[in-house]
Amino acid sequence: MAAGQVVYESLTDAEVMLRVGSDDNAAYEYLVHKFHRPMIAFMYRMCHNQALAEELAQEVFLRVYRSRKSYAAEAKFTTWLYRIATNLAVNHARDHKVERSGKVMSLDEPDEETGTTPDVSDPALNAEQAILRRERLEAIKKHVMALPEKQRAAVLMHKYQEMDYREIAAVLKLSESATKSLLFRAYEALRERLKEFV
């Protein structure tokens, strides 16, 4: 597998996916390995349930495999992958009427390798500032989770997957201007709800 790994790393993700379409199982395993953690993280941010996030991520890769013969590499592979993931998460939320509990989930899970999170307290902050910062982060997370599914997906792709407007538009099958408008409305809603922290 190590020799094959080198071959796949020299290809674009779309080229690797085209190999999957030619029944190259090692190419499929390479893509699953490469995108497994980011996909679970994305799904967790969408549904705030670890077991469900893992289940949905597994379903995404199952759909990728089932679609291997029809994959046409018209868009970036990640755009195609996140479109599958977003549709699955939004449909799941709609079908299961996911209850919006008051429970706050973490959008910034610790990195498994380093154990650090972007939320680590700044040693320069005094106790009061640290508490206010933590309250603000928890409020942001809570309000992001309260956004309508498409807005939430757009915000998560924009902020946490670092995707640009064009990529998000392709995933959500919207025009770039509609995507900007969607994100603008989402950020405006967040700004309005977080006024006390600004």
CATH number at residue 28: 1.10.1740.10
pLDDT of 194 above 90: no
What confidence tens digit (pLDDT) does each residue in 111-162 have? 444 344 444 444 566 777 778 777 777 777 788 888 888 898 898 888 878 8
pLDDT of 104 above 50: no
Q: Whole-model pTM above 0.85?
A: no
Looking at residue 84, its pLDDT comes to 92
% of the chain beyond a pLDDT of 70 = 81
Looking at residue 124, its pLDDT comes to 61
Looking at residue 142, its pLDDT comes to 80
State the pLDDT confidence band at 64, using cuts at 50, 70 and 90: very high
State whether 164 and 79 are in the same domain.
Answer: no
Is residue 112 one of the residues assigned to a domain?
no
Domains in the chain, number: 2
Looking at residue 98, its pLDDT comes to 45
DSSP string, 149-177: HHHHHHHHHHHTS---HHHHHHHHT--HH
State whether 136 and 58 are in the same domain.
Answer: no
Is residue 5 one of the residues assigned to a domain?
yes
State whether 170 and 128 are in the same domain.
Answer: yes
Q: Which range marks the domain in which residue 53 is found?
A: 1-99
Q: Which residue has the higher pLDDT, 81 or 103?
A: 81
Please say whether the beta carbons of 31 and 20 come within 8 A: yes
Burial of 31 (0-12, 13-18, 19+ CB in 10 A): buried
Query: Cα–Cα distances in Å, from 58 out to 20, 28, 51, 173, 176?
Result: 17, 13, 11, 23, 29
Looking at residue 177, its pLDDT comes to 92
How confident is the model over 178-191, as a mean pLDDT? 90
What confidence tens digit (pLDDT) does each residue in 1-37 have? 455 555 898 999 999 999 999 999 999 999 999 999 9
Average confidence score pLDDT of the chain:
80
State whether 93 and 125 are in the same domain.
Answer: no
Which of 78-82, 92-96, 145-149 is the least confident region?
A: 92-96
